[in-house]
Amino acid sequence: MKKKYVPFKFSNTVKLKHRLGLALSGGGTRGFAHIGVLKAFQEERIAFDCVAGTSAGSLIGALYCADVGLDVIIQEAKRVQRKELVRRLWINSDSANIANVVNRLLVDKTFEELSTPFAAVAVDVLSGNEVVLTSGNVAKAVSASCAVPALFKPVESDGMVLMDGGLLNNMPADVCRKMGAQIVIGVDLNCHRGEGTDSRKLRDLLFAAWSITTKSTMYKGLQNSDLVIEPELRQFSRASLDSIDEMVEEGYRAAKQKMPEIKKLLGLK
């Protein structure tokens, strides 16, 4: 029997002249800030015609496109235990752990069952190519998009070995364009990427190395975004499940700060 949840619905959504896309970047557990961004758009009654996400952005994007309520997403996030996601001292944990958590709310939904078109970005390490996932099981696609090298095992699918899309495309605004979006808003969770770390802990070193690597993977995202929202998240760890409310609030603040520009871009008063 499928689990029921309270859907997130826009009431009286404003009508836009152009198809609007949302590109959500990766950023580990800083992805909770995406919830605050979406809350700001909800208040303005602005809905997106398509969403593309990488890593943490794919997780929040998938739940949004499935009409899962933002309050429900926050409640579920606070229920998650670190041991449910990462084991073996953070090295080579099973990506299926991510899929299991996502499926608590999606219950094996496919892309075709989502109410808003959605794409998750991953990388096939066999070919070295970017892979845009738009069909099949959503939770499995999200787990592939979130499979950070060394931290999670890759996801095998259709002859491919898939890992985190941030290896090649960390804010997939170009994917939104290919989905038909005429205006794209990007959300960058790591606007300070590439700064490194003074920590010697293995976890912190891995995330610092990842941050440096993904600095060059923002090019397509920045080039294809009409506007980028940049929450200030430097004070939050990319691997902590603490401070969820604070990260949501910072995402909300950053989006509200940009809202006058966004409305002008969309031709709204």
In this structure, is the dihedral angle defined by the CA atoms of residues 115, 116, 122 and 128, taken in order, positive or negative? positive
Residue of 25, 93, 124, 164 marked catalytic: 164
**Which residue's entry shows tokens 């690597």?**
213
Phi, psi of 166 (to 5 degrees): -65, -10
Q: What are the start-end ranges of the H helices in the chain? A: 33-43, 56-65, 70-79, 82-85, 96-106, 138-145, 173-178, 202-214, 219-223, 244-266
> What are the residues facing 184 on neighbouring strands?
21
Q: Yes or no: say if 147 and 164 are a contact pair by the CB < 8 Å rule.
A: yes
Largest CA distance in the chain: 52
Q: Any catalytic annotation for residue 245?
A: no
Active site residue 55: yes
End-to-end CA gap in the chain: 45
Task: Report the C-alpha gap between 83 and 93 in whole angstroms.
Answer: 10
Catalytic choice (25, 55, 95, 211): 55
Q: So which residues are the catalytic ones?
A: 55, 164
